[in-house]
Amino acid sequence: MRAGPALSALLLPALLAACSGGAPHLQPAPGAAPAASVAPLEYTGLAWVMVIDLLVWSAVPSLRTLLGAALIIACGLYLIRFEARGTPAGAS
């Protein structure tokens, strides 16, 4: 009797398909908003890569990696908040 593939062999392709499913919806974003607003959000892939790396290969990110990711996320959140307020009156 032949055994089927291991569950772990099926999970990785399913995870890749689930993560890439939203990619076509993200592509119009750079054309619809200023580059300064969209660029920090492009780096959110770093967080996804760290999570997938931890889940698949059990590789724990270093402190430098975590600090860098935190800095990128903080800058992105700051920029989102700043952009939501709009440009102050009198600014060009």
Q: What is the pLDDT along the chain (92 residues), one digit of tens a residue?
A: 566 667 777 787 777 777 766 666 656 655 676 766 666 667 777 778 888 888 989 999 899 988 988 888 888 788 778 776 765 544 55
Rounded to 5 degrees, φ, ψ at 26 are -90, -20
The pTM of this model reads 0.51
Using left for φ > 0, alpha for ψ between -120 and 50, and beta otherwise, residue 21 falls in alpha
The pLDDT value recorded for residue 12 is 76
